[in-house]
Amino acid sequence: MKIKSLFCGIMLAGSLLGPVGAFAQQEPEEIALANNDFENNFFEALKQKGMENYDKAIVALQKCLAKEPNSAVAYHELGKNYLWLKNYAEAEKAFKKATEIDPKNRWYWQGLYDVYYEQKDFNRAIPIVVKLTEWRKEYYQEDLVSLYMYTQQYDKALTLINEMEQTVGMSEKRERYKLEILAGRGEAKPKREALEEAIKKNPKNEDNYIDLIYLYSESNQEAKAEEVARRLEKAVPTSDWAQVSLFKFNLNNNDPAQATQNMMQVIGSRKIDAKIKHRVLNEFLIYASNNTAYLPALEKAVDAFGGDRTVNVPKEIGKFFFNKKNFSEAIRYFEKALVNKDDDTEAVDLLLFTYAESAQYDKMYKLATKYLDLYPTQPQLYYYAGFAANKLQQYGKAKEWLESGMDFIVDDAALSAKFKQQLDLAKKALGKG
């Protein structure tokens, strides 16, 4: 299975300003565009894509390219829409064109990787993933191991697995792959019988149980795999690896209370790497979103990730709920995200946008003005402050914020129009229109 980030990015196009990313390299659809005709068609394409009208989005993007034929951003969006339509040939052409125009943007290469992966064309995917490791080495190395396994390049897979064991430690998937490779060479404990015999001789050695769980899982004998996991839990009550398997079994067997306990032990373990913890949390997130009685358990699990410096977990959970239009939950997690990392400007924009969508204008005003003290040249913060002040009927403050913020707008016609609209409302209310 392809390794993806635990959570996907989202595109915010709506009644207000879309959030600005905090990363050194933004996803292409977030890049501000100066040309007015181009911009109008581009945002129309984003809107149509959001409504799953991919054919209409393609038409709008073709108009963009007629205006600016060397726009890598437009080709990238075009590729994404063709990919949604499973028109792989056109998606490939579009993403390739984007990489030719701007080969230093990893999102364009990621799009090309998605095309090949969707078609299970793993051999063509491999050089793309090798290229992607230039940006996020450890993340894409995980995918590369899987691709080597799918294409039966076992020597390359084993070399990379051994390298990653030295650099990032062990993981469940890589251990399984290593077992498969060594078993094929006759170098591993070869059969279930041998593992069972080893367990009898040393019932406290959890490695043998784990290897046996993998073997049963590989042959789709889930009931036997679960039985071994329960034996491991009984023999080694402190085993965190047993909890990983038991979590999945209990969730699938509709025993969420027990699955919750398994999850909390996994998250608190120092033996289990972050990717596995994130995967467990993601599975529980999907369950809890459909079974709201377990939302408090989800929140407790997210809080347990407080020390995670690699991913702002509450922000990613908030994005999930935002996509579901569950704004009350989204707000809860975006607020937590800023407690974890108060300089996460993407989280600030997401939270401001969510406050607007849920008509919480007082909170919106306080947050925007607070961050204006830290980022006094960011026009979108002035816009949110002015917008919220208008909604709160504080028209004098709205006028002041909007007039101040307009000085910081650079080549952004859409934002200028929004400022003008809100400023007109404020002046009219003050009798100065």
pTM above 0.85, yes or no: no
**How far apart (Å, rounded) are the C-alpha atoms in residues 267 and 278?**
8
Give the pair of three-digit tokens for residue 360.
């919480």
Answer whether residue 175 shows pLDDT above 80: no
Give per-residue pLDDT as tens, 264-307. Answer: 998 888 877 677 788 889 999 999 999 999 999 999 999 988 76
Higher pLDDT, 229 or 2: 229
Q: Determine how many CB atoms are found less than 10 A away from the CB of residue 102.
A: 16
> Which of 132, 142, 189 lies closest to 1 in space, CA to CA?
142
Give per-residue pLDDT as tens, 383-418. Answer: 999 999 999 999 999 999 999 998 898 888 888 999
**How far apart (Å, rounded) are the C-alpha atoms in residues 94 and 187?**
46
Contact between 10 and 322 (Cβ < 8 Å):
yes
**pLDDT average, residue stretch 149-162:** 88
* Half-sphere CA count of 359, side-chain side, radius 13 A: 0
Measured in whole angstroms, the distance separating CA 412 from the mean position of its chain's CA atoms is: 28
pLDDT value at position 94?
95
**How far apart (Å, rounded) are the C-alpha atoms in residues 72 and 178?**
40
**How far apart (Å, rounded) are the C-alpha atoms in residues 224 and 216?**
6
**How far apart (Å, rounded) are the C-alpha atoms in residues 153 and 159?**
10
Give per-residue pLDDT as tens, 31-83. Answer: 434 447 888 898 889 888 888 899 999 999 999 999 999 999 999 999 999 99
> Which of 399, 341, 345, 339 lies closest to 368 in space, CA to CA?
345
Give the pair of three-digit tokens for residue 382.
């002035």
**How far apart (Å, rounded) are the C-alpha atoms in residues 141 and 75?**
27
What is the sign of the dihedral through the CA atoms of 40, 42, 46 and 52?
A: positive
Write the CB contacts of 105 (distance below 8 Å, at least 6 apart in sequence): 25, 28, 72, 76, 98, 99
> Which of 208, 392, 397, 176 lies closest to 405 in space, CA to CA?
397
pLDDT value at position 217?
67
What is the sign of the dihedral through the CA atoms of 167, 170, 172 and 175?
A: positive
pLDDT value at position 183?
65
Contact between 245 and 226 (Cβ < 8 Å):
yes
Is 162 buried (19+), middle (13-18) or exposed (0-12) by CB count in 10 A? exposed
Q: Which residue is listed with tokens 């039985």?
A: 227
4 SS3 class: coil
Read off the amino acid at residue 229: A
**pLDDT average, residue stretch 127-138:** 90
Which of 73-77, 184-188, 329-333, 426-430 shows the lowest per-residue confidence on average (mean pLDDT)?
A: 184-188
CATH superfamily of 1-147: Tetratricopeptide repeat domain (1.25.40.10)
From its phi and psi, is residue 169 left (phi > 0), alpha (psi between -120 and 50) or beta? left
Give the pair of three-digit tokens for residue 176.
């399984």
> Which of 337, 339, 360, 359 lies closest to 350 in space, CA to CA?
337
Does domain 359-433 sit in CATH 1.25.40.10?
yes
Residue range(s) occupied by CATH 1.25.40.10 in the chain: 1-147, 359-433
**How far apart (Å, rounded) are the C-alpha atoms in residues 378 and 335?**
20
Give the pair of three-digit tokens for residue 261.
């306990």
**pLDDT average, residue stretch 136-156:** 89
Tell me the average pLDDT of the chain.
84
Contact between 44 and 60 (Cβ < 8 Å):
yes
Is 108 buried (19+), middle (13-18) or exposed (0-12) by CB count in 10 A? buried
